[in-house]
Chains A and B, each alone.
Chain A
């Protein structure tokens, strides 16, 4: 498989995932997008292994490793800080370890998390994942540049 074919396939898979996400929301069936996402990633992994043109060697592997390590070094701090904040919020609510505060007379505190709260948590997760991808791509570009990925010389057209 040629590299451009792989990129085309990637675009098709992304479009299919977006469509499946919409379909999943319409049908209110989260399992659809979850299965479709895993299948899509598997398909792209398999397709990537069949790309003809050699693009990976010890230098590119080192660039990938360094970018991944730097991403992890920053990401875990942000993730931990956010998790600590979430833990404080969780423990401040009736479902937490603290006993619920007494409400107005004649009312009872809620005994379960409300759905909008769970939706907000999903959005925070997506934002964190996006941040991780942005960090990784940024470091990947930085190290690729540092180790001569875009250097040219007299042999280049």
Chain B
């Protein structure tokens, strides 16, 4: 699953550490999501979308070719 967290972070002038603290997760988790190594839970995905004030589809882009983990 692709995502645009990095773009939205840049728009809000936020570091990974800053976003992680806001969401109550570790910086490595934000990094792993941005790099596509970890797909967040639905709850965390909604938290991220709500934090940036956009719909979840604006940030997370589902594609059928996602590698099964």
Contact = CB atoms under 8 A, between A and B. Distances in A.
Interface stretch (A14-22, A32-40, A148-156): A148-156
B31 interface: yes
Contacts of A151: 28, 31-32, 35, 37
Given A57-B24, A59-B25, A153 B31 contact: yes
B14 to A, nearest CB: 11
A145 to B, nearest CB: 10
Interface in B5-46: 15-17, 24-26, 28-29, 31-32, 34-35, 37-38, 40-41, 43-44
A155 B16 contact: yes
B28 A59 contact: yes
A148 B35 CA distance: 8
Given A54-B26, A147-B37, A148-B38, A59 B32 contact: yes
Contacts, number: 48
Interface residues of B, number: 18
B42 to A, nearest CB: 11
Nearest to B23: A57
A111 interface: no
27 contacts: A54-B26, A55-B26, A56-B26, A57-B24, A57-B25, A57-B26, A57-B29, A58-B25, A58-B41, A58-B43, A58-B44, A59-B26, A59-B28, A60-B26, A146-B37, A147-B32, A147-B38, A148-B31, A148-B35, A148-B37, A149-B28, A151-B28, A151-B31, A151-B32, A151-B35, A153-B35, A155-B16
